[in-house]
Amino acid sequence: MPLGGNMHSPIVRFGIGLGAFICVVSAPISGYFLTRIFLEAQASSAWPSVMGTLTKAQVGEKSVGRYFADVAYSYRVGTSEFTGFRVRASHGEYDIRDGAVQEIRGLTPGQQIAVFYDPANPRSAVLQPGAGFQEYTLLFVPLIMCGMGVFGFWRLWRTRRGR
């Protein structure tokens, strides 16, 4: 059976059309938010740092099979005291527990750590500045979504023309 099942079935055509529409509409929305995360990650490489104290470093579980690096640290900028919770700008989730374990490797509660903070908003801080593989990968999500939507519309148009 070809990709998409019976492309002349109204139910199949509706499903493909709806899926394509959702992908095309969602792509720029997700692109906006993911690009903001990427730009913050890039900007963080130029942020100043202060020494802070790590108060928590463990693996958290959001739901069954969804893990994250659950960290907390306190730091002072000028006379103000802040608490941070992010390792990187893209505070990620992992399907495999080992991903979160790798994220907190070498972090021990009580240790002094460098905290990189946004000088325009000192409440925004990270332990690992800069854009890494994960942040660059996130930029492809909207492109893939848009491509799937365009492909779905193309399939609908192609089968309609082929009647």
Say whether pTM exceeds 0.85.
Answer: no
At residue 161, the pLDDT reads 60
With 50 as the cut, is the pLDDT of residue 36 above it? yes
Q: Whole-angstrom Cα distance, residue 154 to residue 23?
A: 13
pLDDT of residue 1: 44
Q: How far apart are CA 9 and CA 81, in angstroms?
A: 62
First to last CA, the chain: 18
Q: What is the mean pLDDT of residues 106-128?
A: 95
138-141 own/partner pairs: CB under 8 Å, 24+ apart: 138/34, 138/37, 138/38, 138/90, 139/34, 139/35, 139/38, 141/30, 141/31, 141/34
Indicate the helix (H) or strand (E) that contains 60.
strand 49-63
- Chain-wide mean pLDDT for the chain? 90
pLDDT tens figures, 124-142: 999 999 988 888 988 999 9
Q: What is the pLDDT of residue 163?
A: 54
Which has the higher per-residue pLDDT, 63 or 3? 63
Q: What is the rounded CA–CA span in Å between residue 72 and residue 57?
A: 7
- Binned at pLDDT 50, 70 and 90, residue 113 comes out as very high
pLDDT at residue 100 tops 60? yes
Say which residues have a Cβ less than 8 Å from residue 72's Cβ, sequence separation at least 6: 54, 55, 56, 83, 84, 85
SS3 150: helix
| C-alpha span between 115 and 7 (Å, rounded) | 55
- In DSSP notation, 36-51 reads HHHHHHHHHTT--EEE
Spatial separation of the C-alpha atoms in residues 13 and 158, rounded to whole Å: 12
The token pair at 22 is: 């959702």
pLDDT the model gives residue 3: 53
Digit-coded pLDDT (tens) for 78-99: 999 999 999 998 877 888 888 8
